[in-house]
């Protein structure tokens, strides 16, 4: 199966800019950005981020407030702070053998950086990779990681897979099946996430957010600081 997948990938693989680098920092940024954000939105943001902070040392030297500001629009702002903390850890101590020691880096992200940047023989299993493996019943090697991700993202879709366009269809026991709709995340509009986002934007604009509950949640995550009732952005200054 892997040979068929590899041939398909040669013709149909997505052209993603971080696939042209093995710089672990650039790969880590792409993986953290893509955790909960659509790939087409990630691409221009990743390019801008790497222009602004081209190295892990450059990001480590930034102020947390700059990093939070640059993350706006990508959502789930805690990822920005964790990425910044990870950069500081790496700038000071180098890349750890166990990448999950870095803030915000879970099993999948660690495996993705290990595979794509450090060339280690581990298959990073994101939701797409897992789905293709489950449906085909096949196990793939780390060499097939990018191809599995693309097949899962563009052909072996969660609900209605496009089996007619699939290079693995002949040998796939799940060919032609349909799947129940997945539970979707609730709407952003009117959610607590939105209130947090509005409060954070106010703080970024130098204003005092008035939503105390949202401010308290942001402060717990380290995204803002509250002193004497005044809200400000976190800073490395004492």
> Known catalytic residues?
31
The residues in 93-132 that bind ligand SF4, with binding defined as CB under 6 A, are 132
Q: How far is the CB of 175 from ligand SF4 (least distance, A)?
A: 4
Q: In the bound complex, what is the minimum distance in angstroms from residue 19's beta carbon to ligand SF4?
A: 22
Nearest of 78, 75, 113, 73 to residue 97 by alpha carbon: 113
Q: Could you tell me which residues come within 8 angstroms of residue 22 by beta carbon, excluding any fewer than 6 positions away?
A: 116, 117, 118, 119
| Chain CA centroid to CA 209, Å | 28
* Minimum distance, C-beta of residue 187 to ligand SF4, in the bound complex (Å): 29
Does position 5 interact with ligand SF4 (CB under 6 A)? The reply is no
The reply on whether position 163 binds ligand SF4 by CB under 6 A is yes
Size, binding site for ligand SF4 by CB under 6 A: 14
Nearest to 120 by CA among 130, 109, 111, 128: 111
Please select the residue that binds ligand SF4; options are 104, 161, 209, 234, rule is CB under 6 A.
161
Cα four-point dihedral sign 149, 108, 121, 133:
negative
What proportions of the chain, in percent to the nearest 5, are helix, strand and coil?
Answer: 55, 5, 40
* Residue among 139 and 162 whose Cβ is closer to ligand SF4: 162
Could you say which of 60, 129, 169, 215 contacts ligand SF4 (CB under 6 A)? 169
Does 155 bind ligand SF4 (CB under 6 A)? Our answer is yes
Distance CA 146, CA 152 (A): 10
Contact footprint for ligand SF4 (CB under 6 A): 132, 135-136, 155-156, 161-163, 166, 168-169, 172, 174-175
């Amino acid at each position: 199966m892997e040979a068929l997948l590899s041939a398909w990938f040669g013709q149909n693989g997505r052209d993603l800019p971080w696939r042209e680098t093995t710089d672990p920092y650039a790969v880590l940024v792409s993986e953290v950005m893509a955790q909960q954000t659509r790939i087409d939105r990630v691409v221009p943001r990743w390019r801008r981020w790497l222009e602004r902070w081209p190295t892990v040392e450059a990001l480590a030297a930034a102020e947390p407030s700059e990093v939070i500001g640059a993350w706006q629009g990508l959502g789930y702002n805690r990822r920005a702070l964790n990425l910044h903390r990870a950069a500081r850890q790496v700038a000071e101590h180098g890349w750890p053998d166990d990448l999950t020691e870095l803030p915000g880096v879970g099993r999948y992200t660690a495996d993705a950086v290990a595979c794509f940047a450090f060339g280690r023989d581990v298959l990073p299993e994101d939701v797409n990779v897992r789905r293709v493996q489950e449906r085909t019943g096949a196990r793939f090697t780390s060499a097939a990681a990018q191809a599995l991700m693309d097949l899962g993202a563009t052909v072996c879709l969660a609900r209605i897979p496009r089996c007619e366009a699939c290079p693995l269809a002949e040998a796939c026991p799940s060919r032609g099946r349909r799947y129940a709709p997945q539970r979707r995340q609730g709407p952003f509009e009117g959610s607590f996430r939105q209130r947090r986002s509005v409060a954070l934007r106010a703080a970024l604009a130098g204003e005092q957010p008035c939503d105390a509950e949202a401010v308290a949640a942001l402060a717990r995550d380290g995204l803002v600081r509250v002193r004497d009732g005044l809200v400000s952005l976190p800073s490395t200054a004492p």
